Chains A and B, each alone.
Chain A
Amino acid sequence: MANSRAVISCYDEPMWASIRRRKWELQHCDDCSRVRYPPSPTCPHCLSMAATWKPLAGGGRIISWVVYHKQYFDDYPPPYNVVAVQLDEGPLVITNLVGDEPEGSWLDHRVEIVYAPDVRGEPLPRVRLAGR
């Protein structure tokens, strides 16, 4: 086995640099203002290549969640959760819920972005229940 690792194209590099600064930024299209994820050379909505990196406000809601009972990476011993979060800016992201977990269904719970160190000690954007 081995540790997990990110797929980093030349369009992803500015995002990971922003995450290392603990301020997760995504591309905002200069022409139609939509926010896109993952980073890419063009806006999928209007094909504009003009975009500006801006930090996320940090809020979102849980769309779905799973709990791993099998190990695939050295740095992720089970059990651990993975959540799909719809950011207030629009995109869906995959991350982990840290801290308290909801009783019963996790669906639609509000969350906020926090930065937790990964196995290398680098910050990784995760979420916790909002207001906890």
Chain B
Amino acid sequence: MTTSGLKGVGAVIGVGESDYVADHARVRAGEKPHDSYGYAAIAFSRALKDAGISRDDIDGLIVGPTVAYERVGEILGINPTWGGQQDAMLAVIEACMAIKAGLATTVALVYGNDQRSAAVQYGGPEAMGGNLFLSYVYHAPWGFTSQGALYAMMFRRFSELTGCTERHLGEVAVAQRHAASLNPGALMRKPITLDDYMASPYICAPLHLFDYCLINDGGVALIVCEAEKAKRIAARTPVTIHGVGRYDLNCGATSLEPRLLDFYRPAQEACARQVFDMAGLGPQDMDAVQVYDSFSCHVPFALEGYGYCRSGDVGRFMAEEGISLAGKLPVNTGGGHLSHSYMQGWNHQVEAVRQVRGECGPRQVEGCRFVHYNSDVAGKAVSIIYGA
């Protein structure tokens, strides 16, 4: 089946982020610079400026899951012809769908999250997300809580079956910290070595502290525009969305069957077929990969699942071929959730756009034409290919 559906329909013409570093310092000092809506507003204004368009050009608004749709529209003064609420990856896809359907031409995607200053809990008695993912809370009577532990359980079995060791996994944290050291917008910029990684404390073994994402405040916005209009109105070269893919594993999710028995592989393989088919491209055409990395082990799962290396070979691939900016396949080139900023996939979209634009300075991937973004949040695999 050829799925040309959303190929080239939309293009990103503007991106914006809040000041992660400065805001994080203020939050750690006990201040509350903004709430989720303030961060969202900052990011939106910057994305508009980046695109060189005015607020009146916006006719679509999709907000992230941590803010209320109506209130964001009210604060930003937007009455759109299409609106909604989605996570980062599905917001991009929905924007393209709305454009393809003729329901909007220029869609603002806006996210803000004050998770650090609001002390959002990702594990324990007040763990968030249980209303959406029962597995996050169902096993609490046995002390099994926090999404990191779910991934630790998954990586342990993967490690036992494939020989991808803790030290192999450490390549992810080391490579992304190196990228972050070259990114002035990143929160964690001091380089680390594999020995530093191995010496770091366990949170939930086999995962170490450095395998866990940051928790910080911030906002991100993107402007997705109909491709022809984008060429007319954008201040700089639009970055085209060449393909999208999605496949969700819901069956057996609470008892963790697709996670522990299949490592979500069937979802990633189906999603890979869709996104690469739609784009008319393959893994060999990708110059960089952005992986949703709430935990480092998302990366090896994705590299095998999307066909960047042979099944069962990812430990060797990461250690020998390399996933850093100096390696064969640069992954999470801005530092990702581990070292840049935990914006729940939103900052990865911005990094993909900036890499294709060639504006990443010392962390720029040379001759970057195509960037593949993918995520596997609780077995919901989503992919987007950005390119020139």
Residues of A within 8 A of B (CB): 1-7, 37-38, 44, 63-70, 72-73, 75-76, 80, 82, 84, 91-96, 105, 107, 118, 124, 126
Contact = CB atoms under 8 A, between A and B. Distances in A.
B149 A68 contact: yes
Given A72-B125, A72-B143, 11 more contacts: A1-B125, A7-B140, A64-B153, A64-B260, A69-B205, A72-B146, A73-B124, A92-B252, A92-B257, A93-B255, A94-B255
B125 A3 contact: yes
Among B143, B157, B160, B205, which residue has the most Cβ atoms of chain A within 10 A?
B143
B52 interface: no
A66 B205 contact: yes
Contacts of B260: 63-64, 84, 92
A46 B125 CA distance: 35
Interface in B230-275: 251-252, 254-257, 260-261
Contacts of B152: 66
Among A3, A37, A44, A69, which residue has the most Cβ atoms of chain B within 10 A?
A69
B370 to A, nearest CB: 35
Given A3-B125, A94-B142, A66 B204 contact: yes
Nearest to A45: B251
Contacts of A96: 142-143
A68 B204 contact: yes
B203 to A, nearest CB: 5
Contact of A70 (B130, B203, B256): B203
Interface stretch (B35-43, B77-85, B131-139): B131-139
Nearest to B255: A92
A84 B256 contact: yes
B123 interface: yes
Nearest to A108: B160
Nearest to B121: A72
B154 interface: yes
Contact of B203 (A69, A80, A92, A95): A69
Q: Which 6 A-B pairs have the closest CB atoms?
A: A76-B143, A72-B124, A64-B157, A2-B125, A94-B139, A69-B202
Nearest to A107: B160
B145 A72 contact: yes
B156 interface: yes
B206 interface: yes
A67 B204 contact: yes
Contact of B153 (A84, A107, A118): A84
A-side interface mostly? loop
Interface string B153-164: 110110010000
B206 A66 contact: yes
19 contacts: A3-B125, A4-B125, A4-B145, A7-B130, A7-B137, A7-B140, A66-B149, A66-B206, A69-B204, A72-B143, A72-B145, A73-B125, A82-B143, A82-B149, A84-B153, A84-B260, A91-B255, A92-B257, A94-B142
A75 B140 CA distance: 11
A25 to B, nearest CB: 16
A82 B254 contact: no
Contacts of A68: 143, 149, 204-205
A6 B144 CA distance: 11
Nearest to A75: B143
A38 B134 CA distance: 10
A6 B141 contact: yes
Nearest to A122: B141
B301 to A, nearest CB: 14
Interface in B11-30: none
Interface in B84-137: 123-125, 130, 134, 137
A64 B203 CA distance: 17
Contacts of A84: 153, 157, 256, 260
B201 interface: yes
Contacts of A91: 255
Given A38-B134, A70-B203, A82-B143, A44 B124 contact: no
Nearest to A38: B254
B154 A64 contact: yes
A72 B123 contact: yes
Nearest to B139: A94
A1 B139 CA distance: 17
A64 B156 contact: yes
Given A38-B134, A69-B201, A69-B202, A5 B141 contact: yes
Contacts of B154: 64
B149 to A, nearest CB: 6
A1 B142 CA distance: 16
Contacts of A69: 201-205
